[in-house]
Amino acid sequence: MAWIIVGLGNPGEEYHSTRHNAGRMAVEFFARAADLNGFRADKVKKATVAGGMVGKSAVALILPDTYMNKSGSAVGKYVKSQPARGGSASGGKTPAERLIVAYDDLDLPLGTMKISFDRSSGGHKGLESVIRAVKTQRFTRVRIGVSPSTAAGSLRKPEGKKVVNNFILTKFGAHELAVLKPVLKRVAEALRTIVLEGREQAMNRFN
């Protein structure tokens, strides 16, 4: 049973490098780091996909080609195509427990990331769509911080629907991209650790 690694974001050049596409950027970075560069369009399942091996583990990389709030449409089809069986390195017994979703998180400051498991969407529309599609929240998330912080390091989370929407759909500035780059590298290392050693090992190492 392959690991399914999803990078949430909006498709299209106009959304490239926006804050809401941090998850998609992270999975693209992981693909390059792991030599899994053969992305192709799967028009039936509405996703851009790549696959291969990380160590002795099969992985499928999924970049939904629907807008963020419809992400579950593609993800659900890939999860349902996987057979259920036990004995995985992470202790997972269902296809969803071999699902990893990377996404932008306003509850974390830019420059940080965190691995989580079995938690609510936190209001993230893409994650809400995935949870509805796979009918469980028992899967791994790699949360990538995008919110600003004060000079003292305190979170300055944007507030208000209009402000938040404008913030997440704006492209990262040059300084922000410089801060994000080592985070993307860390996310790639975390994804590799989850696949090869299991979620708990990765959480102990990267959280």
Strands 3-7 and 99-109: parallel
Residue 175 annotated as catalytic: no
Active-site pick, 16, 20, 124, 175: 20
List b or e across 61-80, with b for residues whose CB sees 16 or more CB atoms inside 10 angstroms: bbbbbbebeebbbbbbbbbe
Rounded Cα gap, residues 60 and 6, in angstroms: 8
Closest CA to 117 of 194, 57, 3: 194
Cα-flanking dihedrals φ and ψ of residue 18, to 5°?
-80, 160
Residues with catalytic roles: 20
